[in-house]
Amino acid sequence: MTLIETLDLPGPPARAWDLLAARGGALRLTPGLSVGDDGRGTLRMVIGGHAVTYRGYARQHIEEEGRHLTWTLSGKEVRGTGRAHAEIRARFHDGPEGGTSLRLTILVDGRGRLAEISASELDRAVSSTIARFRRAVAKNLGDVAPGKSAPKAAPPRAAEPSLPRTPATRVEVMPPIRTKMRSARPVQVAVGVLVVGVAALAFWRYRSRG
């Protein structure tokens, strides 16, 4: 089966190339594909209403730097004896309004589950995978859907009136006032005078009786 798709992506071709080719984003963003550093991994697809998992490898071949490359995927059914092989040829072109036009030529062949389904079912399965791939790539490139504007920033909050500051009150603790105690000497003198007076009065009464 041969399928040709053209994906409109945001940003210039150099930016899309950096994501998909230089940084390996194409293999990382393909739905259902899990690939290790050695290029080996698994691909899970829904074909004819049934989920099929293939185990094999994925490779990237650069044909023309910044413009043309090919991805190759090949694997064997995890549950079954069937095999699948896909070759995706990608060409990066300048798109409208400074975007990227990514043209994909997809060739799929195999036996087993792939041979049991109709061409239309296989076409729907591959087209669904490509559509999900396009959304994932556009999201990573910072896409804004047509007709939608970037979210508006929230209006700045009005500054709340500041309450008048109460002047700080400085409390000083004054040292206690020490009162001088009066001398007890005048009291002693008064008592002495009183005693002498009483003694004089008693002596005078004694003389008058005699």
Sign of CA dihedral 63, 65, 69, 74: positive
Closest to 113 (Cα-Cα) out of 45, 56, 58:
45
More confident residue, 159 or 140: 140
- Of the pLDDT bands very low, low, confident and very high (cuts 50, 70, 90), residue 50 is confident
Q: Kindly report whether the global pTM for this prediction surpasses the value 0.75.
A: no
The backbone region for 126, taken as left when phi is positive above 0, alpha when psi lies in -120 to 50, beta otherwise, is alpha
Query: What are the structural domains of the chain?
Result: 2-140 (3.30.530.20)
Could you read off the pLDDT of 134-149 as tens digits, one per residue? Answer: 999 999 998 544 433 3
- Report pLDDT for 201: 54
7 has which bridge partners? 102
Mean pLDDT of all residues belonging to the chain: 76
- Report pLDDT for 37: 86
- pLDDT over 90 percentage in the chain: 49
**Sequence-separated contacts (24+) of 40-43 with Cβ below 8 Å:** 42/75, 42/78, 43/73, 43/75
Could you read off the pLDDT of 53-81 as tens digits, one per residue? Answer: 999 999 999 999 999 999 999 999 999 89
| Residue 92 structure tokens | 């990066």
- Report pLDDT for 1: 87
Closest to 88 (Cα-Cα) out of 104, 64, 110:
104
The whole-angstrom separation of Cα 209 and Cα 32 is 143
Amino acid 197 reads: G
CB-CB contact of 4 with 103 (8 Å): yes
Amino acid 169 reads: T
Per-residue burial over 150-165, b = 16 or more CB atoms within 10 Å of its CB, e = otherwise:
eeeeeeeeeeeeeeee
